[in-house]
Structure 1
Amino acid sequence: MRNFQFAGRSTVHAQNAMVASSHPQASLAAIEMLRAGGTAADAAIAASALLAVIEPQSTGIGGDCFALYQRGGQGPIVSYNGSGRAPQAAHCQWFVEQGINAIPLTSPHAVTIPGAIDAWATILRDHGRFGLDKVLQPAIAAAEQGYVVAPRIAFDWALGFDKLRKGVNTARYLLPHGQAAVTGDVIRQPELAATLRLIAQHGPAGFYQGLVAEDMVATLRAIGGLHTLDDFAAHKTETTVPLSTNYKGFDVWQCPPNGPGVTMLVMLNVLSLHDLTRYAPLSAERFHLEAEASRIAFMMREQHIGDPGHVEIDLVRLLSREFAAEYGNKIRMDRMLELPHVSPPMHPSTVYLTVVDRDRNVCSFINSIAHSFGSAIMSNTTGVLLQNRGAGFRVEPGHPNCIAPRKRPLHTIIPSLATENGKARMAFGVMGGQYQPVGQVHVLTNMLDYGLDVQEAIDLPRGLHYEGIYQLEDGVPAETVQTLQQIGHHTASLTVPHGGGQAIWIDWDKGTLTGGSDPRKDGCALGY
């Protein structure tokens, strides 16, 4: 139970419906959509579209999304893969011949075809009561009439100033008066509003064909991109069956590759070999076990996972208890495992949101333009900021994540859903690039092993073992840091906290919803 003598947030409670997002205006837009008769799908897309305007460093219509959806909170769960592909001309050999051994973050080659718009339309077709014409209205209004910059967004805007100053069209669109936006500034983007109106009127065709697509292709090709109108017109969302593992009696669900959700599931399988409850939530032992599980899972991911349309992936073996035990049983509490060094190509940012409606339809949803402000390439006249997800490819022939024509890169964004006896218990996600699987495990084990509520679980200090350094938030106790160093971890503090997160817990017996939202972002949970 929260100690009300200390600063913090209460959990949010409701009976009918709830949303948790990274911005209050997005949460409000979702609630208004629900009260107007919309489903969790309608509310999630409305919130995501609004965030694509008001949180431009993290998301946009030039990005990708993934989602999990369960009708009525029970029965089959559907996975939506709204990630984009490399251009048809993106042969690995071409990059080798050009002397490009890694895709630069602000190169046109980092821009994969944005998948979000088609995914939004597909989810609405399958589960919504409204269309894009209605759910895009809050986003259109914000772009046209202006929105007020929130504190965390302003913090990130300042960090991205140099990138925006040097980008393609970004200074014109995103540096008002030549400076980074600050808290309280009002930003208007009429060009983006016009593009959103075209999408609202024509659906995905208003984005992947016609004037908007022509402008995006012209912008990219003018700076050396390989993209064509056919690449945009060919894009389609993939609907799949999610992956799962069981932890402490809960089935935990993730989107399959090219999503990286298998990373989180392998971490849970490794941790299930150890009893976390023997150690305090902020102890060195708990952080050490989490780090070792993440190192094992990231090693697996970088060695085996890519686009299943291009490479074979033995998911049955990777998700087996035997695979987890092969490494997990070797974990020692007094030293680190000797594992190959893993250096993922990118460490981007994103937005996550979740909605549960009055019919208990559950949507776990994530949308991203990859790194902060994406590729820093904005389409010349449409206001579309393009992602740099393609920087996640390897230029390494034979690697499962090697760039290839119409191939999707290994992603970082992962929505999650936990069920118990087939019924939804918690829709949740944690943002923050490579931290996402670690963050989801951290939040889930905070609840299932340590009995924290959703807000306490999100609030608890975090750490990420990344590229040989254990990056620890300021809230990790000094004694824990010292002990981790004695074990052999190289530690470092952070300028920017690890991601953000949202969660909604469903209590079927009481008929209530409990929500939490991360103080590391500007957002909140709202319900009615």
Structure 2
Amino acid sequence: MSASSAQRSPLDWEKVKPSHDPQFQRFASRRSTVMGTKGMVASSQPLASSVGIEILNKGGNAADAAVAVAAALNVTEPCNTGIGGDAFCLFYDAKLKKVRALNGSGRAPGAMTLEKLRSAGIQGPEIPMTSLHAVTVPGAASAWVDTVQLLGSGKLELSDVLAPAIRLAENGYPVHEATAHLWQRSENLIKSASPNHDEMLLDGRAPRAGESIRMPNLARTFRELATKGKDGFYKGRVAQEIVSLIKSKGGFMELEDLEDHARRGTEEVTPISYTYNRSDAESEGGVTVYECPPNGQGLTALLALGILDQMQELGLVRDLSKVEHNGVEYLHALIEALRLAFADTKYFVADPDHYKSRVDDLLNADYLRERAKLFDPTKASVDVQRGSPANTCDTVYFSVTDSEGNACSFINSNYAGFGTGAVPKGCGFTLQNRGAGFVLEEGHPNCVAPGKRPYHTIIPAMALRGDELFLCYGVMGGFMQPQGHVQVLLNMVHHGLSAQEALDSPRFCIGAGMAHPISGPISQVSVEDGIQPEVVESLKKMGHEVEVVSGWNRFQFGRGQVIQRLETPRGKVAWAAGSDLRADGQAIAQV
């Protein structure tokens, strides 16, 4: 790939102007893009980003640093993530020019059936978010161990990788603003979820911004994982406390469920992909986007991109590079493509061990063309079969690259905020509520079953041009995630925004505020404050039910991180990174 084509979009070195010069500002970003030539870390929390740099400086690679960041975020941002949740990972191997994928999601207890849930009093279409029946086996601990072993540099032990997070948890840290807000919002949940709530509180309450908090029990849990490996979490003290807490609330989890997960290990899977703008391949405009396969929802982003491709080829919408960015035509096309994508994936995304994957059928060009033909350029299709998705802001996503050119796109989640909010005694973390993603409907592909993995919202992403890395990126936040993947990518591909500008640009979210991805009714489109009022009014006239969102509620639009690979005119590789201003985060370059 030539130097000119490698950074053809969004950054043209011949046209770069100072970001503070409004004449050349394509979008009014509040942050500058961070540049560097060695490693780079972009996460939603500055202390966690610093931890990643520390591991890179010790000789670790992008995968080692990603696990260190994941653990540090459990300490500094427990309102979104933790070792009691799940994780997914994409890794770009610069030597092999290959993308690898790890599925670190846990399974339902072996004794859990639809009949038993009904007998236990769960009568609705899904397991309630606060019920301990919603706890599936936490997969994050195994994913951390396996990521270091399978993808790491081999220069560092797991104990080296976890050491900075253990130090943070033992010594304490000042809570940042966005984290404090989310922590306070969940205070009552934590207090009511288990007898061990004080482990997640400061003097019996949520910490406020600037207050320091220590988490010695979490440090103890991390140390056991660091010294004993998976047995430190899935056997012994931690495992027993998880099972005891769940069973105290009538749950079905057994020690054997945890041991079985450790025995199986994190599953290495083949990533799925779609090449967007393929017709522009001769001019190297085509971008291949990689996602983890089901049971994750990354397929939604690929479907939406495929439908958008077909809409442009059929002339149903103009070339999106020539359409006003975040104007009526542009937003209507993206909203409708995502509605069509979700209509399919909300049904077909399920555990492939229990339901045959339909990925190839759904990404078939003929099928995408037929779906695109349902698009009406003049009006909204709010009644797409099976409805629109829900949204929760519940996850941490981060990007890491290293001086060898490797990249790790990593995501770790409790599902909804603190998950169930329940704390296993003496462990210092909350248990996720990922089982709420099951559908309690006999015969549904995503119906709960023993040992089954639920529909998963968390999805890391990567984009390549040819076999060279273009972007290591993602947008966290429940069912906003594939929507964010599409919007951020197209901000860069079609409108030339930099990594930071692409994140700062106002976004939309279809289905925001819904209670559940499958059973929730049709919902409105939320648009972020910053999209022009006349655009909002025009969307309403087309039949979209639009709500403008501002303030702290902007969390619903997700919080992303982007690291872009660039080649300078002299052929030297550089990194350009952005960190979402909707979070406390920061992108940091290795010196």
TM-score by length of 1: 0.97
**Deviation of the 1:75 alpha carbon:** 2.4
Q: Determine the C-alpha separation between the residues in 2 that align with 1:350 and 1:356.
A: 20
Whole-angstrom CA distance in 1 between matches of 2:172 and 2:408: 28
Greater shift, 197-206 or 121-130, is seen at 121-130
Q: Partner amino acid for 2:534? A: E
Please list every run of 5 or more consecutive structure 2 residues that lacks an aligned counterpart in the other structure.
1-16, 23-27, 278-285, 313-318, 512-521
Q: Which moved more, 1:94-103 or 1:257-266?
A: 94-103
Give the match for residue 439 of structure 1: 484
Is 2:240 the counterpart of 1:214?
Answer: yes
Deviates more, 1:18-27 or 1:178-187: 178-187
Corresponding position of 2:350? 306
Matched-pair contact (CA < 8 Å) for 1:345–1:391: no
Aligned ranges 1:259-408 → 2 under 5 Å: 259-273=296-310, 274=312, 275-337=319-381, 338-342=383-387, 344=389, 347-408=392-453
Distance, in Å, in 2 between the alignment partners of 1:309 and 1:482 is 46
Q: How far 1:342 moved relative to its partner?
A: 2.2
Number of the residue aligned with 1:133: 159
Residue 175 of structure 1: how far off its partner (Å): 2.7
2-structure distance, mates of 1:165, 1:504: 38
- Does the aligned pair in 2 maintain the 1:345–1:393 contact within 8 Å? no
Provide closer, same or farther for how the CA distance between residues 224 and 160 of structure 1 changes in structure 2, counting only shifts above 3 A: same
Cross-structure match for 1:245: 274
Worse-superposed segment, 381-390 or 73-82: 73-82
* 2:572 alignment counterpart: 510
338-347 or 403-412: bigger deviation: 338-347
Given candidates 177, 199, 221, the residue that maps to 1:195 is: 221
Report SS of the residue matched to 1:430.
Answer: strand
Residue in structure 2 matching 1:90, options 98, 112, 122: 112
Q: Deviations over 1:164-187 (max 9, x none)?
A: 232214631223233321110111
Tell me the amino acid that sits aligned with residue 96 of structure 1: R
Equivalent residue in structure 1 for 2:531, among 476, 479, 486: 476
Name the residue aligned to 2:507. Answer: 462
Matched, 1:172 2:179: no
Shift of 1:220: 0.8
Could you give the per-residue CA deviations for residues 178-199 of structure 1, whole angstroms, max 9, x where no partner exists? 3321110111111111111111
In structure 1, what is the equivalent of residue 554 of structure 2?
Answer: 496
How many angstroms apart in 2 are the aligned matches of 1:4 and 1:341?
Answer: 47
CA–CA separation in structure 1 for the residues paired with 2:404 and 2:455: 34
d(CA) in 1 for partners of 2:33, 2:391: 33
CA contact (8 A) 1:345 1:394 kept: no
Shift of 1:77: 1.3
Contact 1:366 / 1:415 at 8 angstroms: preserved in 2?
A: yes
Match of 1:493, SS state, is strand
In structure 2, what is the equivalent of residue 144 of structure 1? 170
Match of 1:371, SS state, is coil
Query: Pairwise CA RMSD of aligned residues?
Result: 1.5
What displacement does 1:346 show?
6.7
CA distance in 2, matches of 1:484, 1:278: 19
Instruction: Answer with 423-432 or 347-356: which moved more.
Output: 347-356
Following superposition, the deviation at residue 147 of structure 1 comes to: 1.3
1:35 aligns with one of 18, 38, 57: 57
Q: 1:110: which partner in 2?
A: 134
8 Å Cα contact 2:346/2:386 also seen in 1: no
Judge conservation of contact 2:145–2:230 (CA < 8 Å) in 1. Answer: yes
Contact 2:339 2:388 in 1 (8 A): no
Residue equivalent to 1:419: 464
Separation in 1, partners of 2:297, 2:464: 20
Taking a change above 3 Å as real, the CA distance of residues 373 and 300 of structure 1, as seen in their structure-2 partners, is same
Structure 1 segments unaligned to the other structure (5+ residues): none
1:160 aligns with 2:218: no
- Supply the AA of the counterpart residue of 1:323: Y
Tell me by how many angstroms 1:277 deviates. Answer: 2.2
Q: Is the 8 A contact 1:346 1:392 kept in 2?
A: no
Q: Which amino acid aligns with 1:283?
A: G
- Partner residue in 1 for 2:10: none
The correspondence for 1:65, drawn from 77, 87, 105, is: 87
2:216 is matched by which residue type in structure 1?
Answer: P
* 2:554 partner amino acid: V
Instruction: Say which is worse superposed, 448-457 or 128-137, in terms of deviation.
Output: 128-137
Q: Paired residues, what number? A: 528
1:496–1:167 Cα change, 3 Å: farther
Over 3 Å counting, the alpha-carbon distance change for 1:169 and 1:325 in structure 2 is farther
- Provide the rounded CA distance (Å) in 2 between the counterparts of 1:288 and 1:270: 13
Q: d(CA) in 1 for partners of 2:369 and 2:121?
A: 41
Q: Say whether residues 1:16 and 2:22 are aligned partners.
A: no
Classify the secondary structure of the residue corresponding to 1:103.
Answer: coil
Cα offset, 1:451, TM superposition: 0.8
Amino acid at match of 2:297: P
SS in 2 for 1:234: helix
Following TM superposition, where does structure 1 have runs of at least 4 consecutive aligned residues deviating by more than 6 angstroms?
none
Contact kept, 8 Å, 1:165 with 1:171, in 2: the verdict is yes
Partner letter of residue 22 of structure 1? S
Residue correspondence of structure 1 range 231-242 to structure 2 within 5 A = 231-235=257-261, 236-242=265-271
SS of match in other structure, 2:301 = helix
Q: Measure the CA separation in 1 of the matches of 2:421 and 2:579.
A: 28
Give the distance between the partners of 1:13 and 1:372, measured in 2 at CA.
32
Structure 2: distance between partners of 1:349 and 1:326: 34
Cα distance in 2 between the residues matched to 1:332 and 1:345: 23
Greater Cα shift, 26-35 or 501-510: 501-510
* CA deviation profile, 1:208-253 (whole Å, cap 9, x unmatched): 0011101111111111110000000000210011000001211110
Contact 1:73 1:423 in 2 (8 A): no
* C-alpha distance in 2 between matches for 1:356 and 1:395: 41
More moved, 66-75 vs 253-262:
66-75
Secondary structure class of the residue paired with 1:397: coil
1:340–1:244 CA distance, 2 compared to 1 (3 A) = same
Query: Quick check: 471-480 or 443-452, which moved more?
Result: 471-480
Amino acid at match of 1:152: A
- Check 1:191–1:303 CA distance in 2 against 1; reply closer, same or farther (3 A cut): same
Q: Report the residue type matching 1:493 in the other structure.
A: V
Q: Distance in 2 between matches of 1:332 and 1:518?
A: 33
**What is the alpha-carbon distance in structure 1 between the residues aligned to residue 197 and residue 21 of structure 2?**
45
**Displacement, 1:44?**
0.6
Q: Distance in 2 between matches of 1:151 and 1:309?
A: 41
Identity among equivalent pairs (%): 40
Q: Deviations over 1:419-455 (max 9, x none)?
A: 1111111100001110000001000000001111111
